[in-house]
Structure 1
Amino acid sequence: MTQDTSATITLKKPLKRGEQEIAKLKLRKPDTGSLRGCRLSMLLNSDVDSLVMLLPRITEPALTEHDISQMDVKDLVSCASEVVGFLTE
């Protein structure tokens, strides 16, 4: 059985970063180092503060806290679903 180590999300509302528009995000499965300082139980409950801490470490392009604060709620929920999937599979 093979486990997915990454996922691609097409954002419903692309993020603007200056002239750049981010329409897709690649999330990689977090390793132990990426999870430093995060509470797994909070991530499993899709806690926003925990996601703000983790997402910059596992997204490509790397999101900033500002990017995440501007993200559409549906897109944040999509990211949270992928993170939970990575941690539970």
Structure 2
Amino acid sequence: MLIIDELSYLKMDKEKESIFFQVIRQRYEKSSLIIITNLPLSRWDEVFTGQLAATAILDRLVYHCHILSITGDSFRVKGEKYLEGNRKDTKEDK
């Protein structure tokens, strides 16, 4: 299994896009792949060099996939708020 986290963090140039496409193509229908991104599929052309590249990659990714869309606050943000609340409660208890 290959896990790619934060795919949309940096825009790809032609070389990186080509390498990424080759990885996807070689794993297509053979191996498990998880991609994590904050960017909706409709905006993937912002990560790649254009709509054509994004479409070619997405075509292979979404064919036999499960898309999980998570909405709401980040788990990191929720965790920090939870920790802050516990710190205040602890201080007030003293």
The TM-score with structure 1 as length reference comes to 0.30
Structure (1 or 2) with the greater helix fraction: 2
Structure (1 or 2) with the greater strand fraction: 1
Larger Rg: 2
